[in-house]
Chain A
């Protein structure tokens, strides 16, 4: 290929990337500008700036959209789920990866099956009723833990392959029992993968719709994404309000993503390719 051709193909690539980036960015721009317009203007979905600034859309959303309630529910459930998945998955992965026996191999693949299988939500309702945790925060926390444990174990087992066994030995020489070895030496070493696992848990719980939609009949416990479904059902043609609601709901996740993206993207891809 001559230099000149190379230059032209570089220009082509840059132009294509630019256009594709617009395809991703324009929908977000549409949300932002239209969330500030009045009802008729927002219904035209134009990308122009609003003629008058209607900040009261946000006021209406916060007053009527169960946003604070939703934020709180999402935070509570995701924090509960991330504590359980992080603690139990790291313990399980440690034993699975370090033992490397036939039994632990089998258990590893038994967990991995949960990555592929669809969740059986309807029988879960019955189970939760039987356990007395239907319509409760504990129920939702345990549900998400069971769904997210397989991926977290997958991620952490992959990560532990990179933590040398010599570190275990030094702890054992110092006289650590298994519990002290795990909590004093392993857990601090696993911090990066725990950050990744926590972020993925938060994002999964925040964005999930099917779980609460099937499992929570009590509207007061709905997570913030389910509140959008409800809100749109109520104001189906008031696009100014819908866009404001959407913006308010995606903003925390976007901020989290922009701030900590290397943990999310690199931590996850490293785990996915190692497994």
Chain B
């Protein structure tokens, strides 16, 4: 029997319509608005050419925001993946305890980042906060610092907060990847006398490649978009030492300079796209080679 199954294309239309109107269109119109003096002060919107971009790049805050966002994204991506992978390797077996640990480590992922920010405001509190209390009680008084108001530690504190929040997500992706590795393959490696580290390098690591791709990409993209934790913990301070893209956009937005804020948003979009495309290319290529 000849199969003549038809799947109508109009099934895609409702989703496409919503996505194009409410997601794609604002992105494109943002491109247009970034060349205007659109603001909350006047109803008129005038074309002003590259003025927004010119002042954006000459003000210097954008440079700081790019630098801080990239530093943040770099360390968060590395350590979220390291910790996530380590947890996954430790919990890759079925027992009551490991199920308990998996549930516990994923819990912070379902908490709103805004609320995580408030929780860590309390934890980092210099006088009474739990972190400094623990440090003092084990005799490490000299690192019981003012975590959020000292420019040397503020960005680090935000990064540590995100590790607490995000490591569980990387863990479950790695666990799912580990599940796809057949057990007899690992046992075979054991019989052959492969040491733990060579087992990891030659068996586990190559087979985990898809999980690496997913995790690296998701962590890097999400960390470039960081907002709530920074807003709550430092609001970009002290000075502009923890200013990131989304706090900069918000600052310009709340000053009423909407065209200008849109221009800063567009710079973020461009950077995210470049990094995402580059990363995907590199990681996919590596996956094929292995």
Q: Is A59 an interface residue (CB 8 A)?
A: no
Select which of A1, A44, A95 is within 8 A of B128 by beta carbon: A44
Task: Provide the bound-state CA to CA distance between A208 and B103, in Å.
Answer: 22
The answer to whether B114 touches A229, judged by C-beta atoms less than 8 angstroms apart, is yes
Complex interface bits, B201-215 against A, C-beta within 8 A gives 1, otherwise 0 = 000000000110010
Select which of A13, A178, A203 is within 8 A of B110 by beta carbon: A203
Task: Provide the bound-state CA to CA distance between A47 and B38, in Å.
Answer: 50
Contacts A122-B258, A127-B22; A249 near B115 (Cβ below 8 A): yes
The answer to whether A178 touches B14, judged by C-beta atoms less than 8 angstroms apart, is no
Q: Is B19 an interface residue (CB 8 A)?
A: yes
Task: Provide the bound-state CA to CA distance between A123 and B172, in Å.
Answer: 35
Residues in B with CB closer than 8 Å to A229 are 114
Complex interface bits, A107-147 against B, C-beta within 8 A gives 1, otherwise 0 = 10001001011111111101100000000000000110111
Complex interface bits, B96-108 against A, C-beta within 8 A gives 1, otherwise 0 = 0000011111111
Stretch of A15-23, A63-71, A189-197 with 4 or more beta carbons under 8 angstroms from chain B: A15-23
Task: Provide the bound-state CA to CA distance between A161 and B72, in Å.
Answer: 37
Q: Looking at chain B's contact residues, is the secondary structure mostly helix, strand, loop, or mixed?
A: helix
Interface residues of B in 79-130 (CB under 8 A from A): 87, 90-91, 101-108, 110-115, 118-120, 122-123, 125, 128-130
Task: Provide the bound-state CA to CA distance between A182 and B22, in Å.
Answer: 26
The answer to whether A95 touches B7, judged by C-beta atoms less than 8 angstroms apart, is yes
Residues in B with CB closer than 8 Å to A250 are 111-112, 115
The answer to whether A122 touches B33, judged by C-beta atoms less than 8 angstroms apart, is yes
Task: Provide the bound-state CA to CA distance between A206 and B115, in Å.
Answer: 12
Select which of A1, A13, A168, A239 is within 8 A of B5 by beta carbon: A168
Q: In chain A, what residue has the closest Cβ to B45?
A: A126
In the assembled complex, the CB of B199 is this many whole angstroms from the nearest CB of chain A, namely 11
In the assembled complex, the CB of B45 is this many whole angstroms from the nearest CB of chain A, namely 9
In the assembled complex, the CB of A254 is this many whole angstroms from the nearest CB of chain B, namely 7
Q: Is A39 an interface residue (CB 8 A)?
A: no
Q: Is B144 an interface residue (CB 8 A)?
A: no
Task: Provide the bound-state CA to CA distance between A239 and B129, in Å.
Answer: 12
Residues in B with CB closer than 8 Å to A214 are 253
Select which of B18, B107, B130 is within 8 A of A257 by beta carbon: B107
Residues in A with CB closer than 8 Å to B6 are 178
Residues in A with CB closer than 8 Å to B90 are 13, 16-17
Contacts A209-B228, A210-B228; A118 near B269 (Cβ below 8 A): yes
Task: Provide the bound-state CA to CA distance between A13 and B129, in Å.
Answer: 28
Q: Is A78 an interface residue (CB 8 A)?
A: no
Task: Provide the bound-state CA to CA distance between A92 and B105, in Å.
Answer: 34
13 residue pairs of the A-B complex, CB under 8 angstroms, read A26-B130, A116-B276, A117-B269, A120-B262, A123-B26, A149-B19, A153-B15, A165-B5, A172-B5, A178-B11, A228-B112, A243-B122, A249-B112
Instruction: Give 3 closest A-B pairs by Cβ, nearest first.
Output: A146-B22, A207-B112, A269-B176
